[in-house]
Amino acid sequence: MAPSAVPTMRALILAALLMPLAASPALADRAAVKRGQKVVDEWCRDCHVREGAKLTADMAPPYSMIVSIEGRDRAWFEAFLEADHFPMTTFRLFDHEKADVVEWLLDLQKRQK
Protein backbone atom coordinates (compact mmCIF):
# COMPACT_ATOMS: atom_id res chain seq x y z
CA MET A 1 0.00 0.00 0.00
CA ALA A 2 1.34 3.45 -0.87
CA PRO A 3 2.07 5.46 2.28
CA SER A 4 -0.27 8.23 1.12
CA ALA A 5 -3.24 5.84 1.17
CA VAL A 6 -2.93 5.23 4.90
CA PRO A 7 -4.47 8.52 6.07
CA THR A 8 -7.34 8.00 3.60
CA MET A 9 -7.98 4.54 5.02
CA ARG A 10 -7.96 5.97 8.50
CA ALA A 11 -10.47 8.59 7.52
CA LEU A 12 -12.73 5.96 5.97
CA ILE A 13 -12.55 3.75 9.02
CA LEU A 14 -13.27 6.71 11.26
CA ALA A 15 -16.24 7.69 9.10
CA ALA A 16 -17.60 4.14 9.27
CA LEU A 17 -17.25 4.15 13.04
CA LEU A 18 -18.99 7.50 13.44
CA MET A 19 -21.87 6.78 11.10
CA PRO A 20 -24.02 4.85 13.58
CA LEU A 21 -23.54 7.71 16.05
CA ALA A 22 -24.86 10.20 13.54
CA ALA A 23 -27.91 8.05 12.80
CA SER A 24 -28.83 7.22 16.37
CA PRO A 25 -30.49 10.44 17.61
CA ALA A 26 -33.30 10.08 15.10
CA LEU A 27 -33.69 6.41 15.92
CA ALA A 28 -33.67 7.16 19.63
CA ASP A 29 -36.44 9.73 19.06
CA ARG A 30 -38.58 7.18 17.24
CA ALA A 31 -38.07 4.70 20.07
CA ALA A 32 -39.04 7.32 22.65
CA VAL A 33 -42.17 8.22 20.69
CA LYS A 34 -43.15 4.54 20.56
CA ARG A 35 -42.61 4.09 24.28
CA GLY A 36 -44.58 7.28 24.94
CA GLN A 37 -47.46 5.93 22.88
CA LYS A 38 -47.51 2.80 25.03
CA VAL A 39 -47.60 4.84 28.23
CA VAL A 40 -50.46 6.96 26.89
CA ASP A 41 -52.39 3.88 25.76
CA GLU A 42 -51.94 2.25 29.12
CA TRP A 43 -52.48 5.16 31.51
CA CYS A 44 -54.21 8.03 29.77
CA ARG A 45 -56.89 6.58 27.51
CA ASP A 46 -59.37 5.93 30.31
CA CYS A 47 -60.04 9.65 30.40
CA HIS A 48 -58.73 11.15 27.17
CA VAL A 49 -60.87 10.31 24.16
CA ARG A 50 -59.13 8.83 21.17
CA GLU A 51 -58.47 10.94 18.10
CA GLY A 52 -61.64 11.23 16.07
CA ALA A 53 -63.90 9.96 18.86
CA LYS A 54 -66.69 12.14 20.18
CA LEU A 55 -65.79 14.31 23.18
CA THR A 56 -68.38 13.74 25.87
CA ALA A 57 -68.80 15.61 29.14
CA ASP A 58 -67.23 12.85 31.21
CA MET A 59 -64.13 12.54 29.04
CA ALA A 60 -60.97 14.62 28.76
CA PRO A 61 -59.98 16.23 25.45
CA PRO A 62 -58.09 14.22 22.82
CA TYR A 63 -54.38 14.88 22.47
CA SER A 64 -54.87 16.22 18.96
CA MET A 65 -56.77 19.11 20.59
CA ILE A 66 -54.33 19.53 23.44
CA VAL A 67 -51.23 19.79 21.23
CA SER A 68 -52.85 22.21 18.80
CA ILE A 69 -53.28 24.91 21.45
CA GLU A 70 -50.94 27.89 21.11
CA GLY A 71 -47.80 27.73 23.24
CA ARG A 72 -47.78 23.98 23.76
CA ASP A 73 -44.09 23.29 23.43
CA ARG A 74 -41.62 20.95 25.07
CA ALA A 75 -41.28 23.19 28.14
CA TRP A 76 -45.04 23.39 28.62
CA PHE A 77 -45.56 19.63 28.41
CA GLU A 78 -42.62 18.93 30.69
CA ALA A 79 -43.93 21.38 33.29
CA PHE A 80 -47.44 19.96 32.98
CA LEU A 81 -46.30 16.39 33.55
CA GLU A 82 -44.22 17.45 36.55
CA ALA A 83 -47.13 19.12 38.29
CA ASP A 84 -50.00 17.37 40.02
CA HIS A 85 -52.98 18.21 37.92
CA PHE A 86 -56.60 17.91 38.96
CA PRO A 87 -58.34 15.63 38.12
CA MET A 88 -55.32 13.70 37.00
CA THR A 89 -54.05 13.17 40.50
CA THR A 90 -54.25 9.42 40.41
CA PHE A 91 -51.57 8.84 37.83
CA ARG A 92 -47.90 8.70 38.64
CA LEU A 93 -45.38 8.25 35.89
CA PHE A 94 -41.69 7.57 36.21
CA ASP A 95 -39.46 10.37 34.92
CA HIS A 96 -38.43 8.33 31.88
CA GLU A 97 -42.10 7.70 31.10
CA LYS A 98 -42.86 11.42 31.33
CA ALA A 99 -39.97 12.12 28.94
CA ASP A 100 -41.33 9.54 26.48
CA VAL A 101 -44.85 10.97 26.70
CA VAL A 102 -43.45 14.44 25.92
CA GLU A 103 -41.73 13.00 22.82
CA TRP A 104 -44.99 11.38 21.78
CA LEU A 105 -46.98 14.61 22.24
CA LEU A 106 -44.43 16.63 20.26
CA ASP A 107 -44.44 14.01 17.52
CA LEU A 108 -48.24 14.18 17.34
CA GLN A 109 -47.99 17.97 17.14
CA LYS A 110 -45.49 17.70 14.28
CA ARG A 111 -47.65 15.19 12.40
CA GLN A 112 -50.66 17.51 12.65
CA LYS A 113 -48.91 20.48 11.12
Which C-beta is closer to ligand HEC: that of 29 or that of 46?
Answer: 46
Neighbours of 85 (CB within 10 A): 10
The three state secondary structure string of the chain is CCCCHHHHHHHHHHHHHHHHHHHHHHHHHHHHHHHHHHHHHHHCCCCECCCCCCCCCCCECCHHHHHHCCCCCHHHHHHHHHCCCCCHHHCCCCHHHHHHHHHHHHHHHHHHC
CA distance 86 to 103: 22
Task: Determine if 99 is a binding residue for ligand HEC (CB under 6 A).
Answer: no
Residues numbered 33-52 forming contacts with ligand HEC, rule: CB under 6 A: 40, 43-44, 46-48
Task: Determine if 71 is a binding residue for ligand HEC (CB under 6 A).
Answer: no
Of 3, 7, 71, 87, the one binding ligand HEC (CB under 6 A) is 87
Task: Determine if 93 is a binding residue for ligand HEC (CB under 6 A).
Answer: yes
Task: Determine if 76 is a binding residue for ligand HEC (CB under 6 A).
Answer: no
Per rule CB under 6 A, count of chain residues that contact ligand HEC: 15
Of 37, 66, 78, 99, the one binding ligand HEC (CB under 6 A) is 66
User: Binding residues for ligand HEC, per CB under 6 A?
Assistant: 40, 43-44, 46-48, 60, 66, 80, 87-88, 90-91, 93, 101
